[in-house]
Chains A and B, each alone.
Chain A
């Protein structure tokens, strides 16, 4: 009796256990410019009180996400900014409507799309502003990498 009910219990447990979200990095190699340069400037050229040591810059990106693998399904797309050199950064962006505007700090991700995938590509133009502590910029330049991720 006990042995026969065990498989049934397992089946019930498995059925009620929430499916873990599967995260996959999206191919955005068609984004233009794919590798861009951004000259960041002191937000406060003179360290007047209260001193702000942030440097920032804005660039425009034509994002093109290849979502073919998720065509005719639903998903949530996140923009991620992995923790990396030169240290803590924050990014904010405006869009033209296909993706959600938002902001995030390095080491985190933010939802930019949720819904059905009806076309092989999702495209939008992002006005992206990056802010970083200027006192951490010891090198002439840093390569900052972003990712788009799909949660199913």
Chain B
């Protein structure tokens, strides 16, 4: 699209004759231009991204369809290198809510000895490359990606909506602030996209970020501070993890 331009020929003249002469001149000029045109038209394709944005977040077990295949691919039948469909895969929806738990021996309740927690998640392999990135059940996998067509260093935040406390059936409470986690990954180096932290009770807490068009993943090892003497019981609470695109 070109910007509109002011018409420099707004005034053609005062008489019909002048207008006619101008039109004839314009017509001849147009014919001359057409006759001397040396650049015929060429076909044009208008491209538009069909699905510019995709988001995937996995905490614990997840679902991915399509066999991962490195490049060059060693699968059978072999997939030629640089084939657009390899390595491929489609993220799926997995409604499983995994738990992280610990049973504190009665003799140790509230003695300040940190209790390492374990998960019922069985997911150790990363869908990024099928590598055993985490060590379940000691670690909980968290990962995902943000697919977008825009350039830059944009990223999206992942948040945790944390209740104020875990509760038991009797209504006893245990602050979520007593639970922390460390972050790592097998053969991983550098800063973790989802670093270690402690839950902030009753808050929406940013727990990491995913850079655009990259896969971000970490393995969390949870622990319970065990600094409070609480009534015997099973204390539960659910944390909701959310990734949001702009």
Contact = CB atoms under 8 A, between A and B. Distances in A.
B44 interface: yes
A50 B151 CA distance: 19
Contacts of A26: 40
Contact of B68 (A35, A48, A142): A48
B235 interface: no
- The listed residue with most A CB atoms (<10 A of its CB), out of B52, B89, B90, is B52
A143 to B, nearest CB: 5
Contacts of B51: 41-42, 45
Contacts of B89: 45-46, 48
B47 A132 contact: yes
Contacts of B46: 35-38, 141-144
B70 interface: yes
B149 A38 contact: no
A110 interface: no
Question: Is the interface on chain B under 10, 10 to 19, 20 to 34, or 35 or more residues?
Answer: 35 or more
A57 to B, nearest CB: 7
Given A38-B46, A137-B49, A143-B44, A46 B147 contact: yes
Contact of A45 (B47, B127, B147, B214): B147
Interface in B76-111: 84-85, 87-91
A93 B85 CA distance: 18
A53 B48 contact: no
Interface string A108-152: 000000000000000000001010101111101111111110000
B245 interface: no
Contact of A47 (B42, B68, B151, B214): B214
A144 B214 CA distance: 28
B214 A28 contact: no
Interface in B51-70: 51-52, 54, 56, 64, 68, 70
Contacts of A136: 149, 151
A58 B46 CA distance: 12
B181 interface: no
Contact of A134 (B42, B149, B215): B149
Contacts, number: 155
B88 A45 contact: yes
Question: Is the interface on chain A under 10, 10 to 19, 20 to 34, or 35 or more residues?
Answer: 35 or more
A149 to B, nearest CB: 9
A38 B147 CA distance: 20
B241 interface: no
A134 B40 CA distance: 31
Nearest to B144: A46
Contacts of A34: 41, 43-44
A36 B128 CA distance: 36
B45 A138 contact: no
Contact of B87 (A48, A55, A137, A148): A48
B189 interface: no
A40 B47 CA distance: 7
B38 interface: yes
A24 interface: yes
Contacts of B149: 55, 134-138
Interface of A: 24-29, 31, 34-57, 59, 61, 63, 66, 128, 130, 132, 134-138, 140-148
3 closest Cβ pairs, A-B complex: A27-B40, A39-B50, A43-B84
26 contacts: A25-B38, A25-B39, A28-B41, A28-B43, A29-B40, A34-B41, A35-B43, A35-B45, A36-B45, A37-B45, A38-B47, A40-B47, A44-B84, A46-B54, A46-B89, A49-B70, A50-B71, A51-B214, A53-B213, A55-B149, A63-B43, A134-B49, A135-B213, A142-B46, A144-B45, A146-B44
